[in-house]
């Protein structure tokens, strides 16, 4: 019987180091959870243009700019660009309101696939723009003057932000489980 009590006591003493480890993990998880805005990636905006030319693509709210010209616009590479249902390698050029706003789908310097004017679709300087969420914003075909359709966006968090949240929740559940287990062991010894 004494050997069983000694075994339980050694588990509790060893359990203290495990308990302290989980306390540290809990604090780190809480810090990750609270700093999620700084540690997470951008929210993705999914764009849908419905009109004579249908276009869909995704951009982060703060995209990586390939080329910018202050007071004119900037170029970015979108994710999953589809033009009339066909995958495209075009880059996108977004124009500020002084140059007609809107954007164009361009390749080798020519915006042949799509060129539309309308409101400026971003805020901030061209070197570090922030894309704006949109709901049925009308665009005008820059070549013909006719309707180019409407553009709308939907936002989705980056998968990495969801992973950070899930890891924090798993750590909290683990801490709760092991702290209850350690409390039961210490009660059994006493």
Task: List Cβ neighbours of 77 (8 Å cut-off, separation of 6 or more).
Answer: 64, 66, 91, 92
Which band of pLDDT confidence, cut at 50, 70 and 90, is reported for residue 175? Answer: confident
Residue 137 located in a structural domain:
yes
Residue 158 located in a structural domain:
no
Q: Do residues 28 and 54 both lie within one domain?
A: no
Of 29-43, 78-92, 131-145, 151-165, the poorest mean pLDDT is in 29-43
Count up the domains in the chain and report the number: 2
Assign 66 to helix, strand or coil.
coil
Question: Which secondary structure element, helix H or strand E, spans residue 149, and what is its range?
Answer: strand 147-157
Q: Do residues 53 and 85 both lie within one domain?
A: yes
CB atoms < 10 A from the CB of 59, how many?
24
Q: Do residues 83 and 145 both lie within one domain?
A: yes
Q: Do residues 30 and 87 both lie within one domain?
A: no
Q: Do residues 122 and 29 both lie within one domain?
A: no
The range of the structural domain enclosing residue 122 comes to 48-152
Q: Do residues 136 and 180 both lie within one domain?
A: no
Q: Do residues 55 and 87 both lie within one domain?
A: yes
Q: Do residues 146 and 81 both lie within one domain?
A: yes
Of 46-50, 97-101, 179-183, 185-189, the poorest mean pLDDT is in 185-189
Residue 9 located in a structural domain:
yes
Looking at residue 59, what is its pLDDT? 93
What average pLDDT is seen over the chain? 80
């Amino acid at each position: 019987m004494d050997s069983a009590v000694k075994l339980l006591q050694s588990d509790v003493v060893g359990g203290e180091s495990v308990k302290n480890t989980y306390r540290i993990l809990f604090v780190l998880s809480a810090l990750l959870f609270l700093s999620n805005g700084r540690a997470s990636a951008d929210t993705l905006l999914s764009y849908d243009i419905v009109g004579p030319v249908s276009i869909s693509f995704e951009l982060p709210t703060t995209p990586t700019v390939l080329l910018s010209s202050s007071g004119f616009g900037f170029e970015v590479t979108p994710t999953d660009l589809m033009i009339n249902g066909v995958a495209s390698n075009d880059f996108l050029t977004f124009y500020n309101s002084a140059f007609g706003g809107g954007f164009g789908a361009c390749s080798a310097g020519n915006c042949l696939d799509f060129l539309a004017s309308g409101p400026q679709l971003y805020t901030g300087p061209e070197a570090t723009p922030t894309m704006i969420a949109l709901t049925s914003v009308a665009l005008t075909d820059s070549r013909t003057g006719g309707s180019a359709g409407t553009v709308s966006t939907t936002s989705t968090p980056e998968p990495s932000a969801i992973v950070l949240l899930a890891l924090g929740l798993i750590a909290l559940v683990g801490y709760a489980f092991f702290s209850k287990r350690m409390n039961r062991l210490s009660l059994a010894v006493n």
